[in-house]
Amino acid sequence: MQENKRKRILITGAAGFLGSHLCDRFIEEDFHVIAMDNLVTGDLKNIEHLFKLPNFEFYHHDVSKFVHVPGELHYILHFASPASPIDYLKIPIQTLKVGSLGTHNLLGLAKSKEARILVASTSEVYGDPLVSPQAEEYWGNVNPVGPRGVYDEAKRFQEAMTMAYHNFHGLETRIARIFNTFGPRMRLEDGRALPTFISQALQHKDLTVFGDGMQTRSFIYVSDQVEGIYRLLFSDYCLPINIGNPDEMRLLDMAKEIIALTSSQSSIVFEPLPIDDPKQRRPDISKAKKVLDWQPKVNRKEGLMKTIHYYQTLFNSNIH
């Protein structure tokens, strides 16, 4: 397609795990992709294969500061934010700022460009939930002053600000409540359970399970997540919507499954549960099924095998 006819999309957090997969998807769909990232937790390696393309450009920029993009803009995906507890506990104020000031800057940009904006919210808005599965109507159980509050409350503010721009300015907005996602390009050292287990298993180190491992998580493979986000962007639904996989599992069982799938000699060791760690996580995705005609397709084992294979190749290439 001619460059001047291509739809232009800004993706923040583009050098991160989800942002980079979204860049790939929108390039595949023949968009002009403007990627933005300050590389605080991201890695240019995730998008370097796109640098040579005429319909891809990259801005090294902190979106908590004023954001300017020259030319037309049709869509914005705001994915910039540290996303793992290890990251946001290290940089709590930057985390609060990117969810609040960053979101405000991007909503302002969307308004000035008359662009549609989708923001990446999270299942963490439900905190340590008192109901399961979590439907969008559930208001959550968040400790605002606990260590995780910097992330959870930033995202809750993000949702409130996004709805305010929608209601007050008539801006076209979308809110994805993203549940734990996994796949290639996750940072293995980011402290989240699944990448940590995979990294430990591949190195035959003991897998560290927090608490008694009876707490549950529901993991969705990255291609399913990207498809859900893609459909949401082009839907006309403006309230928050869960994008996740209801396949709920105890973390202890997940650790055992990863040891089996990697044929690892690792054992399991138990460590104290972090403060405010949610005991259960399971999305109710009836809304996404109905509104987006979407549901996850990749089953857990298949997704895990693809992910493990990716990291095995990476580990082997680092060894040789």
Q: Should residue 17 be labelled a site residue for ligand NAD when binding is judged by CB under 6 A?
A: yes
- Ranges assigned E (strand) in 52-146: 56-60, 75-78, 116-122
Q: Is 303 within 8 Å of 254 (Cβ atoms)?
A: no
Buried b (16+ CB within 10 A) or exposed e, 70-95: eeebebbbbbbbbbbbebbbeebebb
Instruction: Using CB under 6 A, pick the residue from 15, 110, 232, 233 that binds ligand NAD.
Output: 15
* Crossing angle (nearest 10°) for helices 300-319 and 251-261: 60
- Ranges assigned E (strand) in the chain: 8-12, 32-37, 56-60, 75-78, 116-122, 173-178, 181-182, 207-210, 216-218, 220-221, 241-243, 248-250, 268-271
CA distances (Å), origin 18, targets 25, 77, 78, 296: 11, 11, 11, 16
Instruction: Using CB under 6 A, pick the residue from 162, 173, 180, 218 that binds ligand NAD.
Output: 180
Nearer to ligand NAD by Cβ, of 147 and 270: the residue is: 147
Q: Should residue 98 be labelled a site residue for ligand NAD when binding is judged by CB under 6 A?
A: yes
Q: How far is the CB of 77 from ligand NAD (least distance, A)?
A: 9
Instruction: Using CB under 6 A, pick the residue from 33, 80, 175, 259 that binds ligand NAD.
Output: 80
Instruction: Using CB under 6 A, pick the residue from 85, 102, 195, 213 that binds ligand NAD.
Output: 102
Nearer to ligand NAD by Cβ, of 190 and 264: the residue is: 190
CA distances (Å), origin 279, targets 56, 183, 253, 291, 310: 41, 23, 15, 29, 29
Q: How far is the CB of 307 from ligand NAD (least distance, A)?
A: 13
Q: Which of residues 22-51 bind ligand NAD (CB under 6 A)?
A: 37-42
Q: How far is the CB of 178 from ligand NAD (least distance, A)?
A: 4
Q: What is d(CA 144, CA 217) in angstroms, rounded to the nearest whole number?
A: 22
Q: Should residue 9 be labelled a site residue for ligand NAD when binding is judged by CB under 6 A?
A: no
95: phi then psi, degrees, rounded to nearest 5: -65, -45
Q: Should residue 200 be labelled a site residue for ligand NAD when binding is judged by CB under 6 A?
A: no
Q: How far is the CB of 190 from ligand NAD (least distance, A)?
A: 7
Gyration radius of the chain's alpha carbons: 19
Q: Is 151 a catalytic residue?
A: yes
Q: Should residue 153 be labelled a site residue for ligand NAD when binding is judged by CB under 6 A?
A: no
> What sections of 40-84 are H helices per DSSP?
none
- Ranges assigned E (strand) in 13-54: 32-37
Q: Is 308 within 8 Å of 198 (Cβ atoms)?
A: yes
Nearer to ligand NAD by Cβ, of 40 and 109: the residue is: 40
- Segment contacting ligand NAD by CB under 6 A, of 8-16, 247-255, 263-271, 285-293: 8-16
Q: Should residue 64 be labelled a site residue for ligand NAD when binding is judged by CB under 6 A?
A: yes
- Which of 75, 151, 165, 311 is catalytic? The answer is 151
Nearer to ligand NAD by Cβ, of 80 and 161: the residue is: 80
Nearer to ligand NAD by Cβ, of 176 and 201: the residue is: 176
Residues labelled catalytic: 151
The residues that touch ligand NAD, with contacts defined as CB under 6 A, are 12-13, 15-19, 37-42, 62-64, 79-83, 98, 102, 120, 122, 178, 180-181
